[in-house]
Amino acid sequence: MNGGLLVAGTTSDAGKSVVTAGICRWLVRRGVKVAPFKAQNMSLNSFVTREGAEIGRAQAMQAQACRIEPTAQMNPVLLKPGGEQSSQVVLLGRPVGEMSARGYHGGRQQRLLGTVLDCLAELRGTYDAVICEGAGSPAEINLRRTDIVNMGIARNARLPVLVVGDIDRGGVFASFFGTVALLSPEDQELIAGFLVNKFRGDVGLLEPGLDMLRDLTGRRTYGVLPFRHGLGIDEEDGLRVSLRGTVRESTVAPPVGEDVLRVAVCAIPLMSNFTDVDALAAEPGVVVRFVDRPEELADADLVVVPGTRGTVRALAWLRERGLADALRARAAEGRPTLGICGGFQILGEHIEDEVESRAGEVPGLGLLPVRVRFAREKTLTRPVGEALGEPVEGYEIHHGVATVGGGEPFLDGCRVGPTWGTHWHGSLESDGFRRAFLREVAAAAGRRFVPAPDTSFAALREEQLDRLGDLIEQHADTDALWRLIESGAPQGLPFIPPGAPA
């Protein structure tokens, strides 16, 4: 078997990543050897594979849904935004330079099509099925000529396309119809049908609309997935400051001790790998929220300064908003703060950056005895170690090289009192270490908080992936979906005018 499917969406954030993961988990549970694939991903949320390649975290999560190790072939092109107009281009897991959006879409993107197709062919030669994820919308007519992630890859690899729409946003019927009607006849031949995501209410009320959609387009709907809380794992895009106050979804179990623990995450610009705090939110009694005002740190038992693709820019933002002074005040009062990757660099004494921002020498917040120099080569590793008497695993993605001049050792960084800093992402997913760390935070904060003794982040992640598989198995026409993966798009699908503009 050499099956395949492209999961496209009417919009960004329609649910492509979680639907892809759900299909992968459903397939692997029925004994299919399956792999995920996304030709091009734009995300600040990335991961390091065992061979030291950087890929989108969504593809790493989908690989876990497939119960396989992620590889660079699963996400050959990763774009990491560095501002409004440019991104770092990561090819097969390694950065190859910065490029403007105009320069990328002006020719570079199309030249990567051969690499993308080679990676997909390699996966299809190894696995029974490859479930591909698109990006944005396949009907972005201004970008179709150079597209390598939606209909460009579908046309070249002859993949059937399932279009996902988020009905919770409204307008899903118009979005489905318009998506098809803006594609060329050749592209429309591969649009097999639709999948409704995040439906609330009585499906019977929706069915007449689905029948009308089939009459209008000649294409069926393969399922209606109900709205479920807590399924947005490993999102591609960093939280925007407009989501200030967003509470990271956590378990509903009550705290084990007498107190809860409040965690405030500074929503710095170009925030990366904000999923580092998911393991904290998974603990009963830990409340995690994202903030951008100094007064919001007042009741926080722990403040996290997360990773960022723009360390110097984030540092300036913290100073402009008064958060830098609030962080210094916390340190003076002996209140806990954790800096991760770019956040760790910000807490140091001195930054020398001729690579990322080209700002030269910039003073840090001076809370940790650390000096950082940005190197052109990016560090991409999967370190293993011990801290607070517990084993820890993590991954590193950074250009900054830290020289630690004092304090107590903490992973690859250091600790001064209740201020910690490390380059290690993912360390809080190590259960024993996370519990030990939270006990230290609670003691420093004067809280009678007790970590649950049996929280397993890995088990919770597996439960979420199984819930995604359950959604597909219970609410999609899996027999029809299997035929689509195995045999391709149905023959004779009608053309819907007007089609793509010339």
**What single-letter amino acid sits at 103?**
G
**Residue 111 contacts by C-beta under 8 Å, 6 or more apart in sequence?**
none
Respond yes or no: is residue 341 known to be catalytic. Answer: yes
Angle (CA) 20 136 58, round 5°? 40
Reduced to 3 states, what is the DSSP secondary structure of residue 359? coil
Backbone angles phi, psi at 374, to 5 degrees: -80, 125
**What single-letter amino acid sits at 104?**
Y
**Residue 212 contacts by C-beta under 8 Å, 6 or more apart in sequence?**
173
Please count the other Cβ atoms lying within 10 Å of the Cβ belonging to residue 142. 8
Q: What is the 3-state secondary structure (H, E, C) of 133-185?
A: ECCCCCCCCCCHHHCCCCHHHHHHHCCCEEEEEEHHHCCHHHHHHHHHHCCCH
Query: Are 132 and 38 spatial neighbours (Cβ–Cβ below 8 Å)?
Result: yes
Query: Are 271 and 239 spatial neighbours (Cβ–Cβ below 8 Å)?
Result: yes
At 461, list the tokens.
């992640």
Among candidate residues 398, 423, 425, 475, the one labeled active-site is: 425
For 198-238, the DSSP string reads EE-S-HHHHHHHHHHHHHHHS-EEEEEEEP-TT---S-SSP
Among candidate residues 341, 414, 423, 475, the one labeled active-site is: 341
Cα–Cα dist 414/405, whole Å: 9
Query: Are 337 and 420 spatial neighbours (Cβ–Cβ below 8 Å)?
Result: yes
Rg of the chain, C-alpha, whole Å: 23
Backbone angles phi, psi at 440, to 5 degrees: -65, -40
Laid out side by side, the sheet with 350-353 consists of 360-363, 350-353, 370-381, 396-404
Cα–Cα dist 456/269, whole Å: 31
Report in angstroms the alpha-carbon separations of 308 from 44, 177, 285, 312.
8, 38, 27, 9
Respond yes or no: is residue 425 known to be catalytic. Answer: yes
**Extended beta strands in 330-478, E state:** 337-340, 350-353, 360-363, 370-381, 384-387, 390-393, 396-404, 408-410, 413-416, 419-422
Burial class (CB in 10 A: 0-12, 13-18, 19+), 453: exposed
Residues designated catalytic: 341, 425
